[in-house]
Amino acid sequence: MISREISREDRRKILVFLTDKGRKETKERRTRTITRISNVFEAMGEERTQHFIEAWALFIQTSMSILEQEKE
C-alpha cells in the first residue's frame, strides 16, 4: 500500500509514496465514503441537510476565529 525510499538529496529523510494498490484502495474508500454521506443526506431530507450544512459552516467559521484569537 505504501513504499518508502531514502531521499537522494538528504539521506536522513525517508520519502513515503502510495503504491498503485494504495492509490486504488484510497479511491475505492473515497467513493464508498461519498456514497455513505450522500445516503445520509438523502435520508435526512433537503431541509435538514441544508440546516446541517449551515450549522457546520458556522462551526468551522467559529473554530477558525477562536484559533486566530489564540494565536494573538
**Where are the domains positioned within the chain?**
2-71
pLDDT in tens, the chain (72 residues): 999 999 999 999 999 999 999 999 999 999 999 999 999 999 999 999 999 999 999 999 999 999 999 988
* Structure confidence at residue 47 (pLDDT): 98
* Structure confidence at residue 56 (pLDDT): 98
* Structure confidence at residue 72 (pLDDT): 82
Query: Could you give the CA distance from residue 50 to residue 44 in angstroms, rounded to a whole number?
Result: 10
Q: ∠29-57-63 over CA atoms, to 5°? A: 100
Whether this model's pTM surpasses 0.75: no
Q: Three-class SS of residue 16?
A: strand
